[in-house]
Amino acid sequence: MLYTQSTLSCDPKDHFVINRVNKDCVKIRALKSVIVRRHPRSENAALVSAGNVVFPAFLGRSGRRLLKREGDGATPRARMRVLGGFYRSDRLRLPQTRLTMTAIRSDDGWCDDPGHGAYNRPVRLPFARSHEKMMRSDGLYDICLVLDWNISERRRHRGSAIFLHLHAGRTTEGCIAVDRRAMLWLLPRLSRRTVVEVL
């Protein structure tokens, strides 16, 4: 559900259609920041503010932490740029976006083994060390945006695969998860300069 403080439109006379990105809407200015605040009723839920729109989200099962560690189930409290993302081309047509989006293949993975040189990097499957499969049956990664947590400046055990992805009505392992309607609203408004800040 989206909570709006202003009408969702590109033009005051023309309401924005949430599930079909209008080409004219891509001309709107990219968001400089997206703010993620803890939901007042839950440690592992959030309210996401993007411009004049606020929508609910799920956080990690352990809530938010300043000192994020691999496997702790927490969402890092940090400022993270949106680097790009992945999507399931067999399930949806990608809306227009400024981000570089890669179609997910069956052999796409993401290494979450702190002892490997590819830690917190995409890998090709089969991969012998601990990893995530990017092609999921539950739809969570049908649209999956990579946040710059422990990527530009990588350290062992600091956490991996921190994404902004779709939710399935439950908490995450440390990512931020929103519903499809919210994600489709966000995509044309995000760029590599957009910072997602978890407070």
State the Cα–Cα distance between residues 170 and 29, nearest whole angstrom: 32
Which one-letter amino acid corresponds to residue 62? S
Q: Where are the alpha helices (DSSP H) in 50-179?
A: none
Q: What is the pLDDT of residues 66-88, one digit of tens each?
A: 999 999 999 999 999 999 999 99
Q: Which residue has the tokens 């739809």?
A: 139
Label residue 136 exposed, middle or buried (CB < 10 Å: 0-12, 13-18, 19+).
middle
* pLDDT-derived band at 14, boundaries 50, 70, 90: very low
Selection from 165, 150, 168, 185 nearest residue 78 by Cα: 150
Give the pLDDT confidence score for residue 4 in this predicted structure.
37
Q: Among 4-13, 14-23, 179-188, name the most confident range.
A: 179-188
DSSP state of 155: -
Here the tokens at position 186 are: 């966000």
Here the tokens at position 175 are: 């990512």
| Count of other CB atoms within 10 angstroms of residue 26 | 16
State the Cα–Cα distance between residues 147 and 165, nearest whole angstrom: 10
Q: What is the pLDDT of residues 44-53, one digit of tens each?
A: 999 999 999 9
State the Cα–Cα distance between residues 143 and 123, nearest whole angstrom: 18
State the Cα–Cα distance between residues 86 and 183, nearest whole angstrom: 13
